[in-house]
Structure 1
C-alpha cells in the first residue's frame, strides 16, 4: 500500500498543495516552520482522523478558512482509490471514497494505515498515562477500524456519567433529585461496564500480541540489549478477574464487565465526592519496564514493580524515572517499530512516517532506524537539513520553503 498523490486545500499552512508521491522513500527537506510536517500530517490524518501533533481538528484548518480538504490517491494491490476528508469548523466532517460520500466519516479509518515516528514519541515513555492509552487505541483502530465506534461510545458514556456524578454529589442527601440522579447513574454504570469491558478486552489482547515485537525491536535499536530486556504490561484501574491475567490474549468480556461493575459500586461514594469517573479504561496505563522477566499483567495498584513479582523473576524497573535519555528513546522507537511489525504481520505494509525524528537521535540510532525501515513499501521523511536524512533512505526529495513544495533534482 502506498499513496501516489496528495492534494491539500486550506490544510494547515497550505492554501493549495499538489504533491506526486510513490513507493520507496520520499523526503521533505526545509527549515522549521516551512510546512514539511504538514504534508505528512495530512497523510496520517487520513489513516486515523486525528493528528499526532494536536488533539482537535480546528488547528488543521488554515487561518481564516472554514473548511480544509485532504485528498489522497491510495494504491493497494494494483488498484487505486481516492480518499478524501473534508474538515469543517463547527460542523461535522465528511469522508468520501472515489467521490462517493460515506455514511459516517469514521468509515474511512483504517483504509490507509500509517505508523508515525516523531519527536513527540518520547512522551510515550516520559508522559502521562493518557499518551500511552492513545498509543494503544490508535493501534487498535488501525487493526480493527470498528473499534473507533467503541472508543467514541466510551467517551459518550463517560461524559454523561460525569455529569450525573456532579449532579448527585451536589444534591442534598436523600432528596428526590439525588435519588433520581443515582437511579439514572445505575443505567450508565451498566453501559460503562459493557463498553468498557469490550475496550479493555481489546487492549489486553493487543498488549499480548505486541509484547514479543517490543522485545525484539528494543534488542535491535539498543546497544547490547536482548529480547527479554524490554517488556510491557497492562495496568487496569481495578483488579482483573484471574482468568484475564492467566490468558490476557483471550479475556472473557462478561467477566470483565462484572468485575468493572462491581468496582464501580465499591467506588461510588468516592466518585460522588469527587465528581469524576475513577474506574474504567480511561484510568488504565501501559507499563514499560527494563530488566529481567515480568508477568503478563500487573495488579491494578501498580505496586511492587520489581518487587514480589513472582518466583523466579528478577529486578525490573519502570522506564519512566529510571531509564537514561538514550534508553528512553530506544524504548519509544521500539514501540513504534513493534507497531509496524505487528501491522505488517497482519496485512499490507503500513506507510512509515519519520517526522523530523533523525535530528533527535544520535548517529548510531539514526543508522539503525534507517536500516530497519528502508525496505518498507513507502517511507515519508521530514528533515530540517538534507544531511539529517541517512544515506540508506536516499530517494525522492522535495524542498519545502515559503509554502512551495519543489522536487529537488
Structure 2
C-alpha cells in the first residue's frame, strides 16, 4: 500500500498544498518549525483520524481559519481509493471515502495502515499508562475492526456508568441501577482485555528479537497488566468481576469507575526491571524504537500489507550504532517511507527516493 498524493488546506502552517509521492522513500528536508512534522501529522490523521501529537483538534487548524481539509490518494494491490477529512473550529468533523460521506470517522481506521516513529514515541515507555493503552488500541484497531467496535462500546457504557455513579453519590439514583451497567461493562471489558492480551503476547515475541539486535543482547519483556496483575496468570472474568464489585463503594464516592481496561497498563521490562522507572532515556528510546518496528512487522505479517512508515527526525534521537541498525532495517523493507531530517548527510538510505524541500509551509520536490 502507498500514498500517491496528498492535499492540505489550512492545516497547521499549510495554506494550500498538493503533492505527489514516490512509492518507495520520500525525504522531507528543512530547518526546524518549517512544516516537516506537520506533513507527517497530516498523513497520520488520514490513516487514524487523529493526531499523534495533540488531543486538541483545533490546534491543527491554521490560525485565523475555520477548519482544515485533508485528502489522501492511496493505492493498495492495484486498487485506488481516496480518504478526505474536514475538521471545523466548532468541533464538527466530516469524512469521505471515495467521495461518499462516512457516518463515523472510526469506519476509516485500518483502511490505510500506518506506523509512526517520532519523538512522541518515547512516551510509550516513559509516559503514563494511557500512552501505552493508546499504543495497543491503535495497533489492534488497524488489525481488527471488531476490536474497535468493542472498545467504543466499552467506552460508551463506561460514560453511562460514570454518570450514574455521580447521580448515586448525589442521592439522585439508587445503587441497584448499577447492575445492568456492570454487566455490560464486564462483557465489553472482557473482550477488550482478551484481545489486548493476545496481541501483547504476539508483539512481545517480535520485540524481544528486535530489541536484542538493536541493543546488543539486552532482554526486553512485555506483560499486560490488569489491576497491576500479570493478565496471563489470572482468570480474567473472575478478576474483572471481583475488582468491579470491590471498588463499587469507592467508585460511588469518587463518581467514576476506578477499575477496568481503561485503567490497565502494558508492563515493559528491560533485563527484569521496570523500563519506565529504572532505564536511562537512551535505553527507553531504543525500547520505543523496538516497539515501533515490532508494530510494523506485526501489521505486515497479519494483514499481508505493508503499512506506511513515518519517521520524524528519528536518527537525531539515536546514537550512531542504533541509527545505523535502523537504516539497515529500513533498507530491507518493501514499504513506502516518509522521513524528515534537517541534514541529508545524516541519512543512510539506499535505493530509489525523492527529496522534498520544506520551507515555511511550502513543499517542493527537487525532481
Question: Which TM-score applies when normalising by structure 2?
Answer: 0.93
- The partner residue of 1:235 within 206, 225, 243 is 225
Tell me the equivalent position of 1:305.
Answer: none
1:407/1:238 CA distance change after superposition, 3 Å: closer
| Alpha-carbon distance, 1:212 to partner | 0.6
Contact residue 87 and residue 94 of structure 1 kept, 8 A: yes
**Equivalent runs, 1:7-406 vs 2, <5 Å:** 7-171=7-171, 177=172, 180-222=173-215, 224-225=216-217, 229-237=219-227, 245=233, 256-257=236-237, 259-291=239-271, 316-346=272-302, 347-374=304-331, 375-392=333-350, 395-406=353-364
Task: For residue 281 of structure 1, report the CA deviation from its aligned partner.
Answer: 0.3
After superposition, the C-alpha distances for 1:166-194 in whole angstroms (9 at most, x for unaligned) are 232233xxxxx3xx341332222122111
CA RMSD of aligned residues (A): 2.0
Structure 1: distance between partners of 2:121 and 2:133: 13
* Structure 2 Cα separation of the partners of residues 369 and 399 of structure 1: 23
- State the distance in 2 between where 1:128 and 1:77 align: 38
Query: After superposition, what is the alpha-carbon deviation per residue over 1:253-310, rounded to whole angstroms, capped at 9, x for unaligned?
Result: xx7445423321111112122222111001110001122xxxxxxxxxxxxxxxxxxx
Q: Deviations over 1:4-29 (max 9, x none)?
A: 10111121211211111121110111
Q: Is the 8 A contact 2:4 2:73 kept in 1?
A: yes
Q: Is residue 2–residue 23 contact of structure 1 (8 Å, CA) maintained in 2?
A: yes
* 1:64/1:257 CA distance change after superposition, 3 Å: farther
Inter-partner Cα distance in structure 1 for 2:237 and 2:280: 39
Deviation of residue 239 (structure 1)?
A: 6.0
Asked if structure 1 preserves the Cα contact closer than 8 Å seen for 2:223 and 2:230, the reply is no
Contact 2:224–2:230 (Cα < 8 Å) also in 1 = no
CA contact (8 A) 1:57 1:87 kept: yes
The count of residues paired between Structure 1 and Structure 2 equals 365
Find the aligned partners of 2:314 and 2:62 in 1 and give their Cα distance.
25
Task: Give me the whole-angstrom Cα distance separating, in 2, the residues matched to 1:238 and 1:183.
Answer: 28
User: Aligned equivalents of 1:153 and 1:62: distance in 2?
Assistant: 33
Write the distance in 2 (CA, Å) between the matches of 1:388 and 1:259.
50
Instruction: Find the aligned partners of 1:393 and 1:320 in 2 and give their Cα distance.
Output: 37
Q: TM-score by structure 1 length? A: 0.84
Q: Following TM superposition, by how much is the alpha carbon of 1:91 offset from its aligned partner in structure 2, in angstroms? A: 4.4
What's the counterpart of residue 250 of structure 1?
Answer: none
Q: Distance in 2 between matches of 1:272 and 1:7?
A: 49
Q: Indicate if the aligned counterparts of 1:12 and 1:59 stay in contact, CA closer than 8 A.
A: yes
Distance in 1 of aligned mates of 2:233 and 2:277:
26
Contact kept in structure 2, 1:122 and 1:328, CA below 8 Å:
yes
Task: Pick the structure with greater CA Rg.
Answer: 1
User: Where do 5+ consecutive residues of structure 1 fail to align?
Assistant: 172-176, 247-254, 292-315
Query: How has the CA–CA distance of structure 1 residues 391 and 91 changed in structure 2, closer, same or farther, with 3 Å as cutoff?
Result: closer
Looking at secondary structure, tell me which structure has more helix per residue: 2
Displacement over 3 Å in runs of 4+: 238-241, 255-259, 391-394
CA–CA separation in structure 2 for the residues paired with 1:214 and 1:169? 45
Cα deviation, residue 48, structure 1? 1.1
